Chains A and B, each alone.
Chain A
Amino acid sequence: MRGARLARLLLRPFLGKADASEAVADLEELAGEKGPFEAHWYFWWAVMGYPARVVVDAVRKPLDLLGSRGWRGIGGGRRNSGREGTMEGMIRDIWYALRSLQRNPAFTAMTIGILALSTGTAVAIFSVVDQVLLEPLPFDEPDALRSVWLRHDDGSRTRMTPGNVRDLETLDNVFEGVAGFQGSTAALGTTGGTIAIRGGAVTPGYFATLGVEPLHGRTFDPEHGVVGAARVVILGQRLWEREFSADPRVVGRVVDLGGASAEVLGVVPESLYPTSVALSGELPFTDTNQDFFVPLTFSEEFWGSRRSHILGAVVRLRDGVTAAQADEALSALTMQLRETDPLNRSESLEASSFEEEVVGDVRFALLSLLGTMGLVLIIAAVNVGALFLLRGDDRTSEISIRRALGSSSAHVVRQFLVEAAIVASAASMGALVVGRVTIAVMQSLVPYQIPRLSAVHLGADSAIPLIAVGAALALLLGVVPAWRALRMQQVRGTRAVTASRAQRRLHGSIVGVQAALGVIVIVGAVLLVRSFNELRVVDLGFSERQTWVFEVRGAGDRMSDVVREVRALPGVASAAIAYDHPLARNWGDGFRIEGQARPEGTPGPSGSLRAVGTDYFTTVGIDVVEGRLPDELDLAAAPLMVINAALRDTHFPDGGAVGSTISVPTAARMFGEDASSFTVAAVVENVRFLGPENDSEPAFYLPLSHFQVSGSNLLVRSEDPGAEVVARVRNVIEAAAPGSAANSARRLEDIVFDMTARPRFNMMLLVTFAGMVLLLCGLGVYGLVGRSVVSRLREIGIRMALGADQTDVASSVMRTALKPIVLGCVAGLGAAWALSGLVQSLLFGVSPTDPLSYLLSALFMTAVAVVATVVPTVRALMVDPAHSLRGD
């Protein structure tokens, strides 16, 4: 049973180690008789039954003993004969502790709630950091893997060309394996219809380089990568489980892949396969592109090309070769290429740790969240500590009475410890629930933008530190207040305590420290909120409203019929086909501007190549800034192209872009030299293809009909915001192109929303933390002022009797609260200022020392403090002088 270890850990404090193992084994046996789903449910339901019943039983225990043989009979029991006396004392302590906690429900709920919330969130974030960042990648010796890319002399980074991947293979004294790959999509015929799947086209040595053994079948042989080889496919574990019911007999079966049959060669385990590669050389990992793998089948001629930047590369170092040695070998190769090959003259091969590529850009965000969470945890611990201290102080007279009745100091300490232990264990159980919920929420916020997040779970590994922290906290929360209470009792005897000046100062400084730490967190949250707001208002360069993106695979030539019919549908404002939507990471290519001489030995300019059809610009709302859009963007009509403003500004600073001729080698490769030149018809607005935080790169739009692509997207702008149009469009696709997969219809708005998922995730977590901090600080202030008012009732009474007016009293009470808060805020703002450099990389459009954010944070903190003082202040104002003077 999954989770048996966790269950044993949970039950151990209640049943002891041996009995917990026995009970869990019993439950596994009982659960084994249920169905697979029910078994899980039953198991956890039964586990949860133990703690409550054991506690109730412990409370009943003395009665049982009384009922059977009376108290004297304990020693004669068959088991535990020597321990029973202490057991009995322990049970009584637990019983008292439960009663005492029950008598003070506000204290109990507050301490358990604060601890459960803060430790639960902390454990969740720790689990994420542990399982996303710290666990080694699921490859054989992952440290030997490095990704390789090209660095232009202008500093920009780009994908590899097929020729450069071949170059890497010549370094076989350094690299044990070289893998090249690019993203791939296809339509897969299944029993339930055709579905669109995403994966990679990879070189045959890909899996050997990564060090992955297939679950079933085998991986590619070198002959699979030859043009004209029999079509084969390797399935990813998740697709295999989802669509083939995890049937191992799928190996050898022939499936329909993109309208042609392909033999299933094997199944590979779920992992972090690099498949897609961004134009800028990054390996954007997503869980959604791990469905299938097909061999890259380039012609020998194309494998020599150093012009098309389309591949990603991962290499495995030979045993004993260090990263530095590999870098040296790459530099040597770079020098050689710069001399022999004009296209590589301004480029260098560079390698970086593969792990860094996969998790590098989430590392900082996750670590800063962990750090912030640490601050929140400290604040929470300080708060709970203060609550326990105050409660201990309040119990001086109770302790005096106990001592007078013969309790030893040790017994008093034990009593306190038991109470703290009960609070800590209840909080730990709550923390497990909070932790699980937090992880689920995090997973739903960023479903696939953080690698491995979807597999993160709150396992026993995370629960052990939780239990350890709980135990340590219980010890601290129990011993320190008990010690203080005992000391105070010696000093004061049984007189009721009033908060001394020293006590108030202690409490004041606790509140001050909380405010200081809290302000740091709040500044971070406010900065992220403001930064996210800036991101949201960035003009992406197109209009995503009411636009749907249909991923169509396998429709082939029938796409033009489809788009014609869709345009005629009621409710459709406009429709177009395109290789992908405006925010997709398309491929990049070099180009040449006719009539512009390029400096000798440079490879010439390059840009993002976007393949689109007629009406694309009107459908996605990209404005024309110069020239006129062609009526037909089709090779058959005229060889026209459209460029963006960034390309114009870079390469036509003196104007004259419209009407000029640009040739594109990709087109030449596919259609021959005569089909490679295009006349610029229009210049359109820049689109931020890589999301709002990245500037637009130079881009050119070519007619999609130039390219033999396996699939394309249908973009449809609807006349109204509803989703009625989706079903109509699907019907058209199904009728015009039966069997083509239009299973994914997404709103362009959702795609834009997903683009900002990571910053939103950071922001929401930090805002949650800030909320917790404000709540905790509010509670702290409330406690401080409340106690201060209670202890000063007499003094306030005297002052009012002597004629002090209400304003004086109110301001004096407020001062108690606001002094530590203001001091804390000042210190906290200073610390935030000092730490501001750290958050720089998480911010967009806001300076990390933005004064407004700092001011707002201080205001939030002060406002919460003021609100928290309202009730105690009102109480102070309602003091009846006569009454308070009579008291005591």
Chain B
Amino acid sequence: MLFNSIDFAVFLPIVFILYWFVTNRNLTLQNVLIVGASYVFYGWWDWKFLLLIVLSTIIDYFVGIGLSKEENKFKRKALLYTSVIVNLGFLGFFKYYNFFVDNFIAAFTLFGSEIQPNTLNIILPVGISFYTFQTLSYSIDVYKRNLEPTKDFIAFSAFVSFFPQLVAGPIERATNLLPQFYSKRIFDYGNSVLGIKQIVWGLFKKLVIADNCAQYANEIFSNYSQYSSATLILGAVYFSFQIYGDFSGYSDIAIGTSRLFGFNLMRNFAYPYFSRDIAEFWRRWHISLSTWFRDYLYIPLGGSRGGLKSKIRNTIIIFVVSGFWHGANWTFIVWGALNAVYFLPLLLRNKNRVNTETVAPNNIFPSLGEAANILITYVLTLLAWIFFRAKDLTEAFNYLKGIFTFNFEFEMLRIERYSIEIIPLILILLFIEWTNRKKEFPFASQEESFLKVSFLISLIILFGNYTDIQTFIYFQF
């Protein structure tokens, strides 16, 4: 079920009413409702893939119980590996099987051997990368004794399948989300109103920014060989706002929806395009994934401790793995590696923690230096997004080559639109974000008047893209 669909517009009020008016006196019943609603929400795509979630839930639940009882180191490790193998096994099979087979065959062909391809027609279950990482974090935390394992199977099932963040995050930590299922939820007016505002803000980013940008970005990337440098640059800009609006919009709707049910999820985006260096960008972009990799991969590998070599190695590993997490394609690996190349000079000069506060907190405009740094960081991410969006590496390099032909002509696209038409909407987004950059999200205060929120809803109704509904990009990851 998509957040931007009529189905969800009907589903959400029904679940909300049942949650607060029917099951509100019994915590277990409320959790059962969440599990049921989450399974309906997920099964709306394909009920068969529910089996994966159920299986992952059962295995990790019993692994947790086992870890709490077991003191033998070897047996504890065996239990942890069971969880890791099952979860990464699902992920590996559904997401990466064909990629590895294809590359294996290509490698053998390169050395003169012929192998018959044995790829499978595998459909990627929606959101598999998100819920497998979430359940993995539970097993690892219990193994490390950072978390008491739960004995409440319903609460654990609700934690794994919680519908607002099931298919595209934020990837929650068991330490934050799981305890919220144990305690009685009391309806909070302020938090619910914030939830509505955050949902509206998320819908604005998705329907007005991302889906409109998508039309232009898709057209330009699909026919890049026919367009001028200026249009190709705009194509990359549109994609950068498409992916930002799409993914951060989803996160806002997810966090806002959770607030309606009395839950607080972690923040996933913090105005990443106002970052002054690439390290700051990665502290502000997809925070739940970056911190997941930091805690469960980077630090266990040794982090920034150790010598220069291990620092460089760990950084490259985390960025490449993070790229590969996004998809089984060399384009994502190069995207990750490119970000590592951007990041390493900062790390090696110990400058990766220079910009940790909000930019120009007490001024209307940034200083010239800050503005230049923001622009440079944005251009670096823009170049990397070309790899992220391209179908393959050849397309990415040809697209870049097209940009460097220096033909600055703004032209009409084949979709009968001028290539610059969407820019005013992007400027509205940037203006709203810039003027509210100290807040968690632009309407995150009780004082916001009805008029501002209604104005935003009006923009969604008037400028939202409803003719060509785009699914959320991150569903495929």
- A and B are partners in one complex rather than unrelated chains: no
**B positions within 8 Å CB-CB of A:** none
**A positions within 8 Å CB-CB of B:** none
